Amino acid sequence: MISNKTIWLIIFSGLIIISGVFWWNIDRLNQGQDVIWNKNLKTEEKVVVKTELEIKEKRPLRFMFFGDVMLDRNVANVLEKKNMEELLAGLSSKDDYFKKSDIISANLEGAVTNEGKHYAPVNLYDFAFPVERLTGLEQRGFNYFTLANNHFLDQGERGVKESRENLAKENFYFSGAPDAKIDDFSRIDVKIEDKKVALIGLSMVYNHFSREKAIALLSQTKNEVDLIIVNIHWGNEYEHLFNRYQQEVGHYLIEEGADIIIGHHPHVVQGMEIYQGKPIFYSLGNFIFDQYFSIPTQTGLALYLEIDEEELIFKFFPFSSKQSAPTFKEDKIEIENFLNDFISWSEIDQEYSTMLKSGVLEVKR
């Protein structure tokens, strides 16, 4: 016969075991952080980045893509008079899209140094800014930056290292090595729901990266993830038409496994192409910049993307900027004109052109 005391002892021990298991799992669930990219770094230089987004329900993945963001020079002056929230007030008409996106991305043109310091040697165009300047973007939902561009190295290797540390500290996702380089930092994987998405950053402004390395990177990545998004910095400045070299590179990246290519650097919007069923947006133009000398340098394109097993649905949100402050175009005629221009810069067939005129593009997977 078991005494009451023994029964209580069994129940009590059971409870302790159950709660132990529960806490152990909670602890595991909280480990949404991963140490990666430590292959070539010393232990104390490990960059810790968040790699998992928690999403409860099953639904399409949602993204927003923007072009170049430069927060130094005249933009820094503008930001002394108004904060980032005020600077981005013209984006509020698309608040719902910002809120529901899993990843909101842009190209960060410059180094994110400690206190925004500039280090020698000083270049003619020399960009650096403190991570605090990104807070307003973070509040808008921006969570990924591609760093692969011609200004990432403006503050030397020290700037590169500090940029990664500062962005990691603020829990941003980021990828990309300096211009023409491909290394372990060129790719970051983000888990969204049950899907793994690779965000790759590449740059070929002053020099071209090794085609062999790019192919190796993509062929390895495609075996490990569900979706590959390549952000690439390329093309001729101030030209709406993409060049044959961009096209050649875009094509082989897709042949090797890229699902979507998002381009920037020309400072103006360039057209698009759908190659083997995969879209290449050659340039989204400036997002936040200080090139006030023309309308094209103050016109940009934001892309909203919903993606599920069957299709990719893009929504086109063109915007105009004034003193670095972007405002989404709302006027029907203005949007129509922009989309017609965009189509004329693109190489797409009739079916897609017709669809694009409505500002929505559906691409079957």
- Interface residues with Zn ion (CB under 5 A) are 149-150, 265
DSSP per-residue codes, 299-345: EEEEEEEEE-SSEEEEEEEEEEEETTEEEE---HHHHHHHHHHHHHH
Q: Rounded to whole angstroms, how far apart are CA atoms 171 and 152? A: 19
**CB 203 to Zn ion: min, Å:** 8
Closer by beta carbon to Zn ion, 221 or else 291 = 291
Cα angle 248, 358, 246 (rounded to 5 degrees) comes to 10
**CB 205 to Zn ion: min, Å:** 6
**CB 147 to Zn ion: min, Å:** 11
Closer by beta carbon to Zn ion, 166 or else 283 = 283
Closer by beta carbon to Zn ion, 149 or else 166 = 149
**CB 88 to Zn ion: min, Å:** 21
Closer by beta carbon to Zn ion, 146 or else 149 = 149
Q: Rounded to whole angstroms, how far apart are CA atoms 276 and 258? A: 11
Positive or negative CA dihedral for 168, 260, 204, 67?
Answer: negative
Which spans in the chain are helix H?
4-29, 73-81, 84-87, 95-100, 135-140, 156-169, 211-222, 244-255, 332-345, 350-356
Give me 260's structure tokens: 């979507």
Place of tokens 């017709």: 354
Provide φ and ψ at 105, rounded to 5°.
-125, 155
CA 161 to chain centre: 19
Closer by beta carbon to Zn ion, 149 or else 324 = 149
Closer by beta carbon to Zn ion, 256 or else 290 = 290
Query: Amino acid letter at 259?
Result: D
Cross-strand pairs, 156: none
**CB 233 to Zn ion: min, Å:** 5
Strand-strand pairing, 269-275 and 260-264: unpaired
**CB 163 to Zn ion: min, Å:** 15
Residue nearest to Zn ion (CB): 265
**CB 179 to Zn ion: min, Å:** 9
**CB 85 to Zn ion: min, Å:** 26
Provide φ and ψ at 354, rounded to 5°.
-60, -45
Strand-strand pairing, 47-50 and 33-36: antiparallel
Closer by beta carbon to Zn ion, 150 or else 231 = 150
Closer by beta carbon to Zn ion, 150 or else 175 = 150
Whether residue 64 contacts residue 303, with contact meaning beta carbons closer than 8 Å, is answered with yes
Place of tokens 């965000």: 199
**CB 264 to Zn ion: min, Å:** 7
Cross-strand pairs, 187: 200
Closer by beta carbon to Zn ion, 71 or else 197 = 71
